[in-house]
Amino acid sequence: MCTQRTQQYKMIGLNIAYYRKLKGLTQLQLAELVNISRTHMSNIEAANVPTSVSLETLLKIADVLEIPAANLLDFDK
């Protein structure tokens, strides 16, 4: 995986963690609401583990967090 793509996956994970915490949810709660395992959610959020996430899962996460999906792809923060 190229360095730029790895950095983008990290930023997506950090954005998910940020909005999840704002919503007051644990990784387990968000994972259950999105219908994925807590381990997968943890891997998505982990900055040191570049884990890909499907578009469907990303959209579900945004829906649960009640934010536009574009917020999860905003790397200019």
For residue 6, name the pLDDT band (cuts at 50, 70, 90).
Answer: confident
Q: What is the pLDDT at residue 3? A: 82
For residue 4, name the pLDDT band (cuts at 50, 70, 90).
Answer: confident
Q: Is residue 45 included in any domain, yes or no?
A: yes
Burial of 14 (0-12, 13-18, 19+ CB in 10 A): middle
Q: Which domain holds residue 68?
A: 3-72
Q: Is residue 77 included in any domain, yes or no?
A: no
Q: Is residue 30 included in any domain, yes or no?
A: yes
Domain count, the chain: 1
Model pLDDT for residues 35-64, shown as the tens digit of each residue = 999 999 999 999 787 788 899 999 999 999
For residues 70 and 6, the answer to whether their CB atoms sit within 8 Å is: no
- Whole-model pTM? 0.91
Residue 11 CB neighbours (<10 A): 17
**CATH number for position 25:** 1.10.260.40
Residue 73 CB neighbours (<10 A): 13
Q: Is residue 29 included in any domain, yes or no?
A: yes
